[in-house]
Amino acid sequence: MERKRVLSGIQPTGNLHLGRYLGAIQNWVKLQDQYECVYSVVNYHAMTMPFQPTKLRENVWELCYNLLACGVKPEYLSIQSMIPEHTELGWILGCMCSYGELSRMVQFKEKSEQVKEKDKDVFISSGLFTYPVLQAADILIYRADYVPVGKDQDQHLELTRNIATRFNNVTGKEYFQLPEPLYAELPKVMSTADPFRKMSASAGEKHNIDLFAPEEQIRKQIRSAVTDSGEVSDKMAPGVENLFSILNATGKPDVYRELMDSYHQGNLKYSQLKDAVADAVIDLVRPIQEEKQRILQDKKAVKESIKASSAQIRERARQTLREVKDLCGLA
Ligand code: TRP
């Protein structure tokens, strides 16, 4: 039987930190055993916010190296701009998506606020507005069955399904099947410096633990993690909960249980918890960092391999686009 298809995309912005790894990439790697996957470094999406060309190029390759170091298979990895059919399908789908639908996208509202706050002289690009249409094209061009995404992408996936339905209605053919979200039990990792906000690249260095940071830095960041304010409460403090959740997600269930027992008995020392988390994180990142060193020794070969996999994956995109154009009376 043919394997079901999975597609996901990641923006080449910011660094690869623990939150992104535990909340997405680790799962991408797992899914490769079971599905036919396409993972796209979506650089066209990264242009929707103010950007610098040199940085964009750097970020794309850096992210590719990082993803490979994490265990993403090279044959499943592609760079969006090497497959221009995404944008061509994006145009066609844009004509099947209403202005009103796009106006309701929460991410657009949030991101346009961000742009305004950062620099009032910078404009909000129309690309930011039509971004979800390109995302729909990313997904539909591979006729994906499943899209592993976080809850924040629900609305975009729903829109993708609406666009696919409209396409099928307009062309009178059940051409696109409707892609389903693929949720996994993934932790939402919070910033260790402020457990009330999500670990993120954009919030600044101290709010995320870089997967490729030196061991000492990782240890230091975890050691200085916010735990509780010393107030007596029968609810676990968010900072402590976050440390436990990291410990659980890094694959140390025994240590997790042991420390959780101590917590409930009221004799857990936070320094003990922090040391355990630091050890677990370092055990997790060490092989990934070693693999990255190996990859960096021959960047040229890696670039060639990603160009080749993108070309391979492009064949599938071409096929879909040919059929789509035919169905739309464009060819
Ligand atoms: N919008 C996604 C994000 O912000 C990135 C993305 C672009 C994506 N195209 C995609 C995710 C296709 C899944 C499928 O994280």
pLDDT digits (tens, 9 = 90+) for 154-173: 999 999 999 999 999 999 99
Residue 80 CA, closest ligand 1 atom number? 9
Mutate to test the pocket of ligand 1, among 86, 87, 156, 313 (most ligand atoms within 8 A of CB): 156
Band the pLDDT of 119: cuts 50, 70, 90.
confident
The percent of residues above 90 in pLDDT, for the chain, comes to 88
pLDDT bracket for residue 116 (50, 70, 90): confident
Cα–Cα distance between 176 and 182 in angstroms, integer?
Answer: 18
191 lines ligand 1 (CB under 6 A): no
Dihedral, CA atoms, 190, 192, 195, 198, nearest 10 degrees? -30
Burial 205-221 (b: 16+ CB within 10 A, else e): eebbbbbbbeeeebbeb
Query: Residue 254 corresponds to which amino acid?
Result: D
Beta strands in the chain (DSSP E): 5-10, 36-41, 77-79, 146-147, 180-181
Arithmetic mean of pLDDT, 245-266 = 93
Tell me the two tokens of residue 152: 């924040």
Please, are residues 288 and 113 in contact by the beta-carbon 8 Å criterion?
no
The pLDDT, as a whole number, for residue 328 is 98
Pocket test for ligand 1, best of 5, 6, 11 (most atoms within 8 A of CB): 11
CB of residue 310 inside a 6 A radius of ligand 1: no
Q: Which atom of ligand 1 is nearest to the CA of 42?
A: 7
- Whether 140 is in the pocket of ligand 1, judged by its Cβ within 6 Å, is no
Cβ of residue 25 lying under 6 Å from some atom of ligand 1 = no
134 lines ligand 1 (CB under 6 A): no
Decide: 18 in ligand 1 pocket, CB within 6 A: no
Q: How far is CA 291 from the centre of its chain?
A: 20
Which pairing describes strands 180-181 and 146-147: parallel, antiparallel, or unpaired? parallel
- Ligand 1 atom closest to Cα of residue 148: 13
Q: How far is CA 292 from CA 70, 163, 254, 325, in A?
A: 8, 39, 29, 41
Give CA–CA dist 230/248, Å, rounded.
Answer: 24
Examine the pLDDT at 1 and tell me if it is beyond 80: no
Per-residue pLDDT reduced to its tens digit, 19-68 = 999 999 999 999 999 999 999 999 999 999 999 999 999 999 999 999 99
| CB of 75 closer than 8 Å to CB of 39 | no
Domains and CATH numbers, the chain: 5-187+299-328 (3.40.50.620), 205-293 (1.10.240.10)
Distance CA 179, CA 11 (A): 20
Residue 84 contacts residue 13 (beta carbons within 8 Å):
no
**11 close to ligand 1 (CB < 6 Angstrom):** yes
Distance of alpha carbon 178 from alpha carbon 140, whole angstroms: 9
> Is the Cβ–Cβ distance between 49 and 201 less than 8 Å?
no
The pLDDT value recorded for residue 327 is 98
Is-contact 78 40, C-beta < 8 A? yes
Residue 147 Cβ < 6 Å to ligand 1 = yes
Alpha-carbon 116 to chain mean position: 24
210 pocket-lining for ligand 1 (C-beta < 6 Å): no
Q: pLDDT: is 75 or 149 the higher one?
A: 75
**How far does residue 279's CA lie from ligand 1's centre (Å)?**
32
CB 281 within 8 A of CB 218: yes
Q: How far is the CA of 299 from the centre of ligand 1 (A)?
A: 26
Task: State the number of CA atoms in the 13 A half-sphere of 234 facing the CB.
Answer: 0
CA of 127 relative to ligand 1 center, distance in Å: 14
pLDDT digits 0-9 by tens, 266-316: 999 999 999 999 999 999 999 999 999 999 999 999 999 999 999 999 999
Atom of ligand 1 nearest to the CA of 135: 9
What's the rounded Cα separation, in Å, for the pair 194 and 171? 51
DSSP string across 124-168: PPHHHHHHHHHHHHHHHTTT-SEE---GGGHHHHHHHHHHHHHHH
Burial (0-12, 13-18, 19+ Cβ within 10 Å), 288: middle
Q: 139: Cβ below 6 Å to ligand 1?
A: yes
153 lines ligand 1 (CB under 6 A): yes
Token representation of residue 167: 């396409």
Q: Given the CA of residue 132, which atom of ligand 1 is nearest to it?
A: 1
Q: 149 CB under 6 A from ligand 1?
A: yes
Q: Which residue has the higher pLDDT, 97 or 331?
A: 97
Q: Are 286 and 66 in contact (CB under 8 A)?
A: no
Q: Which atom of ligand 1 is nearest to the CA of 156?
A: 1
Q: Does residue 148's CB lie within 6 angstroms of at least one atom of ligand 1?
A: no
Contact 32, 259 (CB under 8 A): no
- pLDDT tier at 331, thresholds 50, 70, 90: confident
